[in-house]
């Protein structure tokens, strides 16, 4: 792997670049981004060697597409039309159905591997890129059989070098499940932040009382609206279902409190404590 193109040099793409540089010290890493500022920052930080455009992709051994999911759907066909026969293209989008659909009949479909490396922080931009962000994390690969065998192999070697755990899923199942374990968490966190900020407008001192518990639950409300709005749009149906269930559970909890049914409140929490064992499995 000699010529690597990172499209979107933010947290996700930048962190890919840092790991790739460690694995392939002689690689030329090029950055493509609609933001000149991000490209300048990424160059200054040593994340990329040089800047490029989509027209340069015929030289690419690997293209990493790490841009908002609406732009992936729009740009991925164009990217595939610009590569060579031997180029591997991977994406890092948090949705998979619309992305796979967008290139379903593309003549270069077999150069593309649909992936979702489940890693990140609440920060964004090149300066938030970090080494080993993906180490030990799960990488969901969708429609692996649609990718050329040699390019599958190349991708798996890279992911192995980065220390990722691979799971294979269908795009539909990916989008359904990720709505629960990722998209819903973001909405619950954003709305928690909103509820408390609204209260704070009249009560300036309220945040002085916030401890690490609040900080942890509201952390995802720092996330980028540019990235998350298109995710919610593309995964609309699944997200509406999770939101419906979440609101129903909250309403039932509220109902128990209203009715002084604290035995049920206790039982709800006791059974949800099972999350301890589940989270041990994640860590």
Is residue 135 a contact residue for a copy of itself (CB under 8 A)?
Answer: no
Question: Which is closer to a copy of itself, CB of 51 or CB of 192?
Answer: 192
CB of 39 closer than 8 Å to CB of 65 = no
* 65 Cβ contact partners less than 8 Å away, ≥ 6 residues apart: 7, 8, 72, 75, 76, 79, 89, 90, 91, 92, 93
Q: How far is the CB of 79 from a copy of itself (least distance, A)?
A: 24
* 189 Cβ contact partners less than 8 Å away, ≥ 6 residues apart: 217, 218, 219, 220, 221
Among 98, 100, 113, 119, binds a copy of itself (CB under 8 A): 119
Q: Considering only residues 149-168, where is the footprint of a copy of itself by CB under 8 A?
A: 167
Please name which of 128, 158, 127 lies closest in space to residue 43, comparing C-alpha atoms: 127
Q: How far is the CB of 252 from a copy of itself (least distance, A)?
A: 9
Q: How far is the CB of 222 from a copy of itself (least distance, A)?
A: 5
Among 118, 141, 151, 162, binds a copy of itself (CB under 8 A): 118
Is residue 170 a contact residue for a copy of itself (CB under 8 A)?
Answer: no
Tell me whether strands 112-117 and 138-142 are parallel, antiparallel or unpaired: antiparallel
Among 102, 137, 144, 146, binds a copy of itself (CB under 8 A): 137
Question: Which is closer to a copy of itself, CB of 145 or CB of 279?
Answer: 279
Q: Considering only residues 73-112, where is the footprint of a copy of itself by CB under 8 A?
A: none
- Counting beta carbons within 10 angstroms of the beta carbon of residue 165, is it exposed (0 to 12), middle (13 to 18) or buried (19 or more)? middle
Question: Which is closer to a copy of itself, CB of 149 or CB of 207?
Answer: 207
Question: Which is closer to a copy of itself, CB of 25 or CB of 281?
Answer: 281
Is residue 145 a contact residue for a copy of itself (CB under 8 A)?
Answer: no
Enumerate the H helices of 83-224 as residue ranges: 97-102, 149-162, 171-178, 184-200, 212-218
Q: How far is the CB of 204 from a copy of itself (least distance, A)?
A: 11
Q: Considering only residues 250-279, where is the footprint of a copy of itself by CB under 8 A?
A: 250-251, 253-254, 257-258, 260, 262, 265-266, 268-276, 278-279
Binding part of the chain for a copy of itself, among 55-63, 83-91, 143-151, 177-185 by CB under 8 A, reads 177-185
Is residue 138 a contact residue for a copy of itself (CB under 8 A)?
Answer: yes
Among 40, 121, 127, 132, binds a copy of itself (CB under 8 A): 121
Please name which of 239, 227, 175, 236 lies closest in space to residue 69, comparing C-alpha atoms: 227
Could you give the 3-state DSSP secondary structure of residue 31?
A: strand
Question: Which is closer to a copy of itself, CB of 24 or CB of 180?
Answer: 180
Q: Which residues pair with 140 in a beta bridge?
A: 116, 167
Q: Considering only residues 181-240, where is the footprint of a copy of itself by CB under 8 A?
A: 181-182, 184-200, 203, 205-223, 225-226, 228-230, 232-233, 236, 239-240
Tokens encoding 161? 């070098």
Question: How far is residue 118's CA from residue 115's CA, in Å, rounded to a whole number?
Answer: 9
Could you give the 3-state DSSP secondary structure of residue 224?
A: coil
Residue 214: phi, psi to the nearest 5? -60, -45
Please name which of 142, 33, 144 lies closest in space to residue 93, comparing C-alpha atoms: 142
Question: Which is closer to a copy of itself, CB of 62 or CB of 69?
Answer: 69
């Amino acid at each position: 792997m000699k010529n690597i193109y990172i499209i979107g040099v933010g947290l996700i793409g930048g962190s890919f670049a840092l790991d790739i540089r460690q694995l392939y010290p002689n690689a030329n890493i090029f950055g493509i981004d609609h933001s000149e500022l991000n490209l300048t920052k990424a160059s200054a930080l040593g994340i990329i060697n040089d800047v490029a455009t989509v027209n340069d992709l015929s030289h690419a051994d690997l293209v990493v597409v790490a841009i908002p999911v609406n732009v992936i759907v729009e740009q991925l066909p164009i990217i595939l039309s610009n590569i060579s026969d031997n180029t591997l293209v991977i994406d890092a989008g948090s949705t998979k159905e619309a992305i796979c659909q967008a290139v379903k009949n593309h003549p270069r479909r077999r150069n593309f591997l649909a992936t979702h490396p489940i890693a990140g922080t609440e920060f964004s931009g090149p300066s938030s890129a970090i080494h080993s962000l993906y180490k030990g994390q799960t990488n969901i690969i969708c429609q692996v059989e649609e990718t050329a065998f040699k390019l599958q192999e190349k991708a798996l070697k890279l992911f192995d070098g980065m220390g990722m755990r691979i799971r294979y899923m269908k795009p539909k199942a990916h989008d359904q499940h990720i709505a629960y374990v990722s998209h819903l968490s973001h909405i619950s966190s954003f709305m928690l932040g909103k509820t408390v900020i609204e209260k704070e407008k009249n009560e300036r001192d309220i945040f002085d009382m916030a401890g690490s518990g609040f900080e942890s639950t509201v952390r995802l409300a720092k996330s980028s609206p540019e990235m998350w709005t298109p995710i919610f749009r593309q995964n609309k149906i699944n997200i509406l279902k999770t939101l419906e269930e979440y609101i129903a559970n909250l309403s039932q909890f509220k109902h128990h409190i209203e009715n002084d049914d604290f035995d049920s409140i206790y039982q709800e929490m006791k059974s949800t404590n099972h999350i301890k064992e589940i989270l041990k499995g994640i860590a």
